Amino acid sequence: MKGQASSVERPAPSVEQGRRDFIATATAAAAALAIGDVALLNAQPSHESRVNDHVSQSRSFKLRYAPHFGMFRQHAPGGLENELEFMASEGFTALEDNGLKDRSVADQELIGRTLARLNMRMGVFVAHTIGWNEANLASGNEAARDTFLQQVRDSIPVAQRVNARWMTVVPGHVDRRLEMSYQTAHVTEALKRAAAILEPHGLVIVIEPLNTLRDHPGQFLSRIPQAYQICRAVGSPSLKILFDIYHQQITEGNLIPNINQAWDEVGYFQVGDNPGRREPGTGEINYRNVFRHIHSRGWQGIVGMEHGNSRPGREGERAVIDAYVAADGW
C-alpha cells in the first residue's frame, strides 16, 4: 500500500560478518582520529604567525594612524616588541617615537625589525635638541647652527635602522632682540643646509609650528603660513611641514582651509583634541570631518597620535582605540 514501509525481510548478518564490520569501522575511526590529531598539531601557529594572522584579520583603518610607545602599555606590558604587536593587532599600521634617537642602537634595530615583520611604517622622531628657552636657529648664531646640522647628520643612521623617512625639527625660541624678518632668514638658511644634508638619503625634515598661547610660549615657529613660507623659500623635497592639528586649532583654527592652502608643503600630520590634548572626541575638533577631508585629498602619509589618554588603565587605552574607530568611520 502506498505510504507503508516495505515488509520484505533481510537475513540477519553472520557473527563473522559482524566482526569484520566492527574491525573495519574501528580502524577507520582510529585513522580519522589520527589524521585529525596531525591536522590539529600542524594547525597550531607559532607566536609570530598568530600575531600576523591577527593583523590580517583585524580592522582596517582608512588612514595610517601612528600610536607611540606607552599609549597601550597596560594591554602590552612586555616591552617594545609586545607593544608594536598589540598596535598591529588593533589595526594600526604605523608608529611614531619622538625619543627614538635616545634609545640604544639595539632597541632601534629591534624596532626596525619588528616594524618590518608587522608591515608597519615608521613615523617621526625628533632630530635635534630643541631650544625651548633659547633662540638656537632664529638668532643666526653660527655655533648653534653647526650643532644643529651635526645633529641632523647623526639622525641619518637612526632613520636607516628603522626605515624612517621623516624627522621633526623645531627652530627654537624667538630672539627678543632681533627683528622677525632677520630671524626668518636665519631659520631658512639653517634649514636649507639641513635639507641639503638629507636630500641624497631621501630623508625629510618636517618643521612643526607650536602653539604659543598654552603650551610653548616664545617659540619662533607658530603658524602654518609661516612654515609654508619657509618651505617655499628653501624649495627642497627634504623640507616639509608637520601640521599638528592640536596646535593649530589653538593658534589659528580654520583647519580645513589652512590644510588646503598648505597642502603641497605638508609632509606629516599629528593630532590631539583641544582642550586637553587627548584622543579625538574629547574636545572641540570634529576629527571625523578632518580625517575624511585629508583622506579625500588622497593622503597616503602618516597621522601621528601625539596626545595622551583621557582615562587611565586598560579602560583608557581601549577608549583611545574606540575613538579612532569612531573618527575613522565616515
pLDDT tens per residue across span 60-91: 999 999 999 999 999 999 999 999 999 999 99
pLDDT attached to residue 10: 35
Q: Residue 235: is its pLDDT beyond 60?
A: yes
- Kindly report, residue by residue over 125-182, the tens digit of the pLDDT: 999 999 999 998 999 999 999 999 999 999 999 999 999 999 999 999 999 999 999 9
Q: How far is CA 14 from CA 7, 8, 19, 21, 175, in A?
A: 21, 19, 9, 11, 108
| 99 compared with 11, residue with greater pLDDT | 99
Mean pLDDT of 235-260: 98
- Helices 224-234 and 180-198: crossing angle in degrees, nearest 10, is 60
If one compares 13 and 309, the residue with the highest pLDDT of the two is 309
**Is residue 2's pLDDT more than 80?**
no
32: left (phi over 0), alpha (psi -120 to 50) or beta: alpha
Cα dihedral 105, 106, 110, 113 sign: positive
**Residue 311's Cα: distance from chain center in Å?**
21
Give the pLDDT band of residue 58 (cuts 50, 70, 90).
Answer: low
pLDDT band at 260 (very low <50, low <70, confident <90, very high): very high
Q: Three-class SS of residue 206? A: strand
The pLDDT, as a whole number, for residue 18 is 41
DSSP 104: -
pLDDT (tens digit, 9 = 90+) per residue, 189-200?
Answer: 999 999 999 999
Q: Could you write out the DSSP letters of every residue in 289-303?
A: HHHHHHHHTT--SEE
Residues belonging to the active site:
208, 306
**Is 80 within 8 Å of 110 (Cβ atoms)?**
yes
Torsion of CA 225, 230, 236, 242, to 10 degrees: -50
AA identity, residue 18:
G
